[in-house]
Chain A
Amino acid sequence: MLQAGRNGGNAAPLRLGALFLGAAILALPWFATGYLVHFATLLFMFMVLAQSWNLIGGLAGYPSFGNVVFFGIGAYTTGLLMARGGVSFAPSLLAGALLGTAFAAGVGLPVLRLHGHYFAVATYATAEAMREIVNNLTGLTGGGMGLNLPLMAGSERAVGVYFYYLMLGVLVAALAVNAGILRTRLGYGLLAIREDEDAALVSGIDATRYKVIAFGLSAFLAALAGGIYAYWITYIDPGNAFDVSISVTMLVMVLLGGSGTLWGPPVGALVLMGLTEFLWSRFLEVHAALLGAVIILVVLFLPDGLLAMIGQGRRGLSPASLLQNLRRYSV
């Protein structure tokens, strides 16, 4: 009943295509270069992040501009436990994810009482404040000099493949969580909150509880991604673990693909990362500026996201419809 993007339906060729794609993804490490495996892993990570943002921003309608704080908490918790505490990966990762979730629940209670702009800036400020704090606590975290994690045993190739599958696994879990929610009470409740919170309240929805749950789940996934990132890249610092552009990238990916849908975030992530990669290799210098321009274009011309546009078929892709999008929100 709820929009789940353009899923396969019952058309046999589509099913076959999906199966082939799935097989290709699973088999990728065997026939791809190390670079491609790395890129794919990064792509999966951003898909996870986009999916996590979708829970609070797309479904509940609370535009968080600071979700990177959970990523960073996951990264640093995992990093510190492994580097300073000698703890092995799995428990460190779990600890990072749980700490991120706890943080979301704690900060969420006051912050989720805010709406719109206030919420956006409060989350942004939280992430930035955390970055500054981590940066200043040099004794504990290594501050601006960063933290080095122990290297995983094994060849570079083998390690790369390990993280590929790990990140893929988390992605599948993130998709499952999203898909699961969309069919349950929680999903309907969040959508109602997004549409009209007061009307949702008088319809019997415990908005506070649901918002915190969405926020917590979002944090869990983001922190998980962060913890894996830390061990994968083996070096984190406040700049890369709490980078504000990661927050916005997640958001733009969801916007690009289609907010509130199941497949929107991964599609958006794929397109944006593909674009970034293309720009980077061709236009090293202007890359970041072009990314800014791309963001502007996306938000102006594709307010509903790519999936919606594709869903309208040829009509959706025409210049006329793009222009119409441009005018939609004008004064």
Chain B
Amino acid sequence: MAEVVRREVVYALTAIITVIMIADFFLAIPQVNAVAGELRTWATIISTMALTLGAVNIIRVHSRNVRKRVPGVWYHSAFLVFIFALVTLLGLTNIDNPSANPVYKWLFDHAYVSLGQTWYAITGFYIASAAYRAFRARNIDAALLLIAGIFVMLMNAPIGEVIWAQIPAIGRWFNDVGQVPAMRTFLIVAAFGLLAFGFRTLLGRERGFYGEVA
């Protein structure tokens, strides 16, 4: 009985909800549409509440580092937990408008924003060094990739036209036509994959979400 509740009921629930969502699209039955709408709202609420799941897990890991005084790491972890607690408390002082707290707003506007932009941009360095150290035209496949990449890069940069007047036209061809077969293939193949995945879920054969191997 415990196994039925832990497994079979869950797979059945997943399948039923999947069918309801599909039926909602194809059938204009008010009851089905209403249930589907309500389930979507519930999914939104669950997703929203799950936003802090990652935070809880990370705080657990770092708290463990502090408790065990892991050398070289524990003081950084302590700082992280402190910042998390401080900013959360500051935000909770006015949950409807956290930015009304001047310290929260200052940390958000100047620390969080700057660090976010900085982290997002750091990969620019790595792509430049990868271009130099890793991108070798070892065979025809790699050569085609590099040729297409170089023309698109020089098309994106206005200086490409200064180097050679034909670069924008060739780069535009790679961008507008050359890449279409590949991108279209990815879309088609991924769509069939999603359909196959969905049918496996409907049949209860897809169990990866629940931490099991089918």
To the question of whether A and B form a pair in one complex, the answer is no
Chain A: residues with CB nearer than 8 A to chain B? none
> Hey, which bits of chain B sit against chain A, CB under 8 A?
none
